[in-house]
């Protein structure tokens, strides 16, 4: 197949490009050329800025016809409108990389199915949901056959992986040093993570697959973990001792740390588990890399570059934990005798 990937240097894209080349496909990447490229030799590259809509659409037209176009970096509705114009009549299939963050939260049923109501609790999720609507409208008009894939947390060699407060090596350095780490709520909300190689194989299964036209698929981890379990398995994969977890209510974190805890309040507090049965049936999607093994691979990549060791270890967590413990002591004192 002749495949165009818009993006091509991110986590999923690098694994997907490698697998497409190994399959014998002809791959072209479209990006600004400003990111570290970790893909094998053999992929052609077109440099440009997709946010310059007129130039982007002209470059795509000049590039010729593709069997499949995969857009990994469409985040805004206006970018989706430009994409629909750019690929109309120039490809047999458009695959849009969306996100599970398009769904309403809390969900109405679990695991969250492919056809759950769109809504989103963050601007990122709401924008991606609107991109889906725009591209499905193009599909309905007959402009281009569209397939939508929705990853959840995707991790792997090429970047640090998510912790409770987002990204950065500080939390993982704390685990290795045996220092306490904060987990929101009581640690029981559910989460999934999937290694880039498994997610990328899901994308390959969608290419040229007419069964997927006009449909959206969850391509997520199938190892349902509480956030406590996620932290414990991350520690195991990092070669760290069992974690010393400190639970702090989400509402308290959101009030005290509105910037750092934003992702907790908008996303991590909810149960994020998804039904992948349609992806397994139609795409041949499989979850093959257990989280602990995936973390070991990711940690090896990070350690080769000294990323965890170079972090400051999030000393601010010590201040938050000390303040929380002080509040607990004050509560004990103020409520002395109440439970008698």
4 pLDDT above the threshold of 90 = yes
Whether residue 179 sits in one domain with residue 123: no
End-to-end Cα spacing for the chain: 74
pTM: predicted TM-score of the whole model, two decimal places: 0.96
Residue 336 lies in a domain: no
Q: What is the chain's alpha carbon radius of gyration, rounded to the nearest angstrom?
A: 22
Q: Is residue 50 over pLDDT 90?
A: yes
Is the pLDDT score of 115 beyond 70?
yes
DSSP 91: B
CATH classification of the domain holding 101: 3.40.50.720
CA distances to 4, 154, 290, 326 from 240, in Å: 41, 22, 18, 28
Residues 71 and 204 placed together within one structural domain of the fold? yes
Report the pLDDT averaged over residues 111-121. 97
pLDDT reported for residue 39:
63
Min mean pLDDT across 29-33, 266-270, 278-282, 303-307 is at 29-33
Residue span of the structural domain in which 313 resides: 170-192+224-272+291-329
Encoding tokens for residue 267? Answer: 């996303």
Q: Which comes out higher in pLDDT, residue 37 or 104?
A: 104
Q: What percent of the chain has pLDDT over 70?
A: 99
| Residue 297 placed within a domain | yes
- 55 and 201 in a single domain? The answer is yes
Q: Are residues 255 and 125 in the same domain?
A: no
Closest listed residue to residue 292, CA positions, set 233, 336, 244 = 233
pLDDT in tens, 306-329: 999 999 999 999 999 999 999 999
Mind listing the pLDDT tens digit for each residue in 190-200?
999 999 999 99
Kindly state whether residues 126 and 250 are assigned to the same domain.
Answer: no
Please give the pLDDT value at position 80. Answer: 99
The pLDDT score that the predictor gives to residue 87 is 98
In a domain, 282, yes or no: no
Q: What is the average pLDDT score of the chain?
A: 97
Q: Are 101 and 125 in contact (CB under 8 A)?
A: yes
CA gap 148, 171 in Å, rounded: 33
Long-range contacts at 136-143 (CB < 8 A, ≥ 24 apart): 136/214, 138/84, 138/88, 138/94, 139/213, 139/214, 140/214, 143/84, 143/88, 143/89
Dihedral sign from CA coordinates of 39, 43, 49, 50: negative
In a domain, 185, yes or no: yes
SS3 203: helix
Share of the chain above pLDDT 90, in %: 96
**Same domain flag for 117 and 60:** yes
Q: Clarify whether residues 251 and 207 are in a common domain.
A: no
Verify that 126 and 266 share a domain, yes or no.
no
Residues 7 and 114 occupy one common structural domain: yes
Distant-in-sequence, close-in-space partners of 138: CB < 8 Å, separation ≥ 6 = 84, 88, 94, 144, 146
Is 226:188 a contact under the CB 8 Å cutoff?
yes
Q: What is the mean pLDDT of residues 288-311?
A: 98
Note whether 242 and 150 are same-domain residues.
no
The total number of structural domains that make up the chain: 2
For residues 17 and 118, membership in a common domain is answered with yes
- Counting every residue, how long is the chain? 340
Residue-level pLDDT at 41: 82
Q: What is the pLDDT of residue 256?
A: 98
- Contact call for residues 15 and 156 (beta carbons, < 8 A): yes
Per-residue confidence (pLDDT) for residue 36, from 0 to 100 = 63
* Overall average pLDDT of the 238-262 stretch: 98
> Do 79 and 57 contact (CB within 8 A), yes or no?
no
Dist. CA 207–CA 216, nearest whole Å: 13
Q: Are 174 and 304 found together in one domain?
A: yes
Structural domain contains residue 281:
no
What tokens appear for 331 in the block?
A: 């509560």
State the pLDDT at residue 38. 66
Whether 250 is in a domain gets the answer: yes
Average pLDDT estimate for 16-41: 88
Mean pLDDT of 167-173: 95
The answer to whether residue 277 is domain-embedded is: no
* Strand 225-226 with 190-191, pairing: antiparallel
Across 280-288, average pLDDT: 99
In a domain, 161, yes or no: no
pLDDT above 80 for 37? no
Task: Write the pLDDT tens digit of every residue in 62-109.
Answer: 999 999 999 999 999 999 999 999 999 999 999 999 999 999 999 999
User: How many alpha carbons fall within 13 Å on the CB side of residue 166?
Assistant: 11
């Amino acid at each position: 197949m002749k495949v165009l990937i818009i993006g091509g240097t991110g986590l999923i894209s690098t694994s997907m490009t490698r697998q497409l080349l190994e399959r014998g496909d002809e791959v072209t990447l479209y990006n600004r050329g400003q990111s570290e490229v970790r893909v094998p030799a053999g992929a052609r590259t077109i440099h440009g800025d997709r946010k310059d809509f007129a130039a982007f659409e002209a470059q795509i037209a000049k590039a010729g016809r593709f069997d499949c176009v995969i857009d990994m970096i469409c985040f805004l509705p206006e970018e989706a409108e430009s994409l629909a114009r750019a690929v109309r009549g120039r490809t047999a299939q458009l695959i849009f990389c969306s996100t599970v963050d398009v769904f309403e939260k809390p969900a109405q049923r679990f695991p969250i199915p492919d056809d759950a109501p769109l809504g989103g609790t963050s601007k990122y999720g709401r924008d991606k949901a609107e991109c889906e609507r725009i591209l499905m409208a193009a599909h309905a008009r007959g402009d281009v056959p569209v397939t939508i894939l929705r990853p959840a947390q995707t991790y792997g060699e090429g970047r640090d992986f998510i912790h409770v407060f987002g990204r950065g090596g500080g939390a993982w350095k704390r685990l290795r040093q045996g220092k306490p780490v904060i987990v929101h709520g009581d640690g029981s909300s559910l989460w999934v993570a999937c290694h880039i190689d498994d997610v990328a194989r899901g994308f390959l299964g969608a290419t040229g697959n007419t069964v997927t036209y006009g449909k959206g698929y969850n391509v997520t981890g199938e190892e349902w973990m509480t956030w406590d379990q996620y932290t414990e398995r991350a520690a195991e994969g990092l070669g760290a001792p069992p974690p010393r977890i400190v639970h702090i209510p989400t509402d308290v974190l959101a009030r005290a740390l509105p910037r750092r805890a934003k992702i907790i309040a908008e996303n991590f507090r909810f149960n994020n588990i998804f039904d992948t049965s349609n992806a397994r049936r139609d795409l041949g999607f499989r979850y093959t890399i257990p989280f602990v093994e995936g973390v070991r691979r990711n940690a090896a990549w990070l350690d080769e570059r000294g990323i965890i060791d170079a972090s400051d270890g999030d000393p601010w967590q010590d201040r938050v934990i000390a303040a929380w413990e002080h509040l607990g002591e004050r509560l004990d004192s103020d409520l002395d005798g109440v439970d008698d």
